Amino acid sequence: MRPLRILDVVVRFHPYVGGVENTVLDLNRRLIERGHQVRVVCADEPAGSPTSVAGIDVERLPCWRFKVGNTNLCPGLPAALRRERPDLIHGHLPTALFAAAAASAAEELGVPFVLTYHNDLAGEGLKGVLAAVYNRFELPRLLARADRVVTINPAASAALAAPAGDSSKISCIPWGVDEELFKPPAGGGPLSDAPDLVLGFLSLLDRHHRYKGLDVLLRALAEPLAELSGVRLKIGGAGEEQERYRRLAADLGIAGRVDFLGFVPAPDLAAFYGSCHAFVLPSTDARREGFGLVLLEAMACARAVITTPIVGMAGDIQSHEAGLLVPPGDPAALAAAVRRLHADRASLAVMGSNGRRLVQERYTWTRVADAYEALYREAVRTSRST
């Protein structure tokens, strides 16, 4: 079969760090290795970033200094897309402006439009009002325009069936992880008999990622303070909210047990997970938490996890006994889960082993690339036969 020409339209791309950006890179790297041609069109953020990444051609468009929500504004986007000659166009939500431009370009060029729905548009205040209007009126139109819709969370597949108008075009393809890069540390990492239970948390520490639940985790470690005195927390990530979290930890009386590590570079991520006994992602908002990629990375490193039922692989975590699920926004329940792991260190190794096996069985990038490649070819084949 001949290689496909794939145009991926995403608001930002590597070296910008984020869940969507990372997965677009990881998927397209593997498609390039299979002989396909991939071109990414995105905003030029960070400014002056390279125009070739891992064999992927990248067109980085000038953008205005301000954003709508967390989306760059690139006036030249529609014209740039019309200049392309792909076999298909792949767009992403929740970056609505870029997804709409991708859909329009696909229609003008007469090629299939594949939309990956990562999560809802959401927000507070005026942003929340605009997001609600978009989700109510514009989202169904965009879903109807798509030839294929990919969700990363099984719960989203059912929710999108009605607005998409055709449930048969919806597929659930989760994100993946590189199980060779993320693997158990040599020697097993922290010893099960270490005096402190070390927890890990990783996220951008900005206002757009408050839903990751760091506030809840900090409050859990202080509830009750005496019972969790043998627990330490390593926080990876940087952003304008970091100082607020520092103040919260101080106000709660746990500053001495919380380490703010700052931004953790990609080459150091496996070591970060390996330095912890367990990883915690207490996400609070199902509209914004599409998947929770960091959980896969931690499980690939054979680490037990604590999270909430709204993340994309929550059902698998529970059924494979790879970690614990707690209600979102509940510090007391999260504290109880931490106490359980603190009291039963033997379960850490069992959950970590189960998580590693789960990743190898269901969440490798090879499996994800297989699924996308088949979906792309079917979309192109169907388009050419009509």
| Domain range 186-362, CATH architecture | 3-Layer(aba) Sandwich (3.40)
Whether 226 has a pLDDT exceeding 80, the answer reads no
Whether 51 has a pLDDT exceeding 70, the answer reads yes
Bridge partners of 148, per DSSP, are 114
Whether 114 has a pLDDT exceeding 70, the answer reads yes
**pLDDT value of position 192:** 57
What does residue 249 show for φ and ψ, rounded to 5 degrees?
-60, -40
What is the mean predicted confidence (pLDDT) over 208-222?
Answer: 96
**pLDDT value of position 177:** 96
Question: What is 195-241 written as a DSSP string?
Answer: SSEEEEEE---SGGGGGG-HHHHHHHHTTTTGGGTTEEEEEE--STT
Whether 158 has a pLDDT exceeding 90, the answer reads no
What is the mean predicted confidence (pLDDT) over 275-293?
Answer: 93
Banded model confidence at residue 193, pLDDT cuts 50, 70, 90: low
Q: What percent of the chain has pLDDT over 70?
A: 99
pLDDT tens, position by position, 359-375 = 999 999 999 999 999 99
Banded model confidence at residue 73, pLDDT cuts 50, 70, 90: very high
Banded model confidence at residue 161, pLDDT cuts 50, 70, 90: confident
Range(s) of the chain covered by CATH 3.40.50.2000: 5-176+364-385, 186-362
Fold of 5-176+364-385: Rossmann fold (3.40.50)
List the beta strands (DSSP E) in the chain: 5-9, 37-43, 52-53, 56-61, 67-68, 71-72, 88-93, 113-117, 148-151, 170-172, 197-202, 231-236, 258-262, 278-281, 304-307, 323-325
pLDDT tens, position by position, 2-25 = 999 999 999 999 999 888 999 999
Are 113 and 136 spatial neighbours (Cβ–Cβ below 8 Å)?
no
pLDDT tens, position by position, 343-355 = 998 999 999 999 9
Strand ranges of the sheet holding 37-43, from the earlier edge strand across to the other edge:
52-53, 56-61, 37-43, 5-9, 88-93, 113-117, 148-151, 170-172
Banded model confidence at residue 356, pLDDT cuts 50, 70, 90: very high
Whether 386 has a pLDDT exceeding 70, the answer reads no
What is the value of pTM for the model shown? Answer: 0.89
Q: What percent of the chain has pLDDT over 90?
A: 80
C-beta pairs of 108-111 under 8 Å, 24+ apart in sequence: 108/82, 109/82, 109/84, 109/85, 110/383, 111/86, 111/87, 111/380, 111/383
Banded model confidence at residue 383, pLDDT cuts 50, 70, 90: confident
What is the mean predicted confidence (pLDDT) over 87-98?
Answer: 95
Are 114 and 375 spatial neighbours (Cβ–Cβ below 8 Å)?
yes
What is the mean predicted confidence (pLDDT) over 288-306?
Answer: 95
Q: Which DSSP helix (H) or strand (E) runs through 85?
A: none
Whether 164 has a pLDDT exceeding 80, the answer reads no
Banded model confidence at residue 188, pLDDT cuts 50, 70, 90: confident
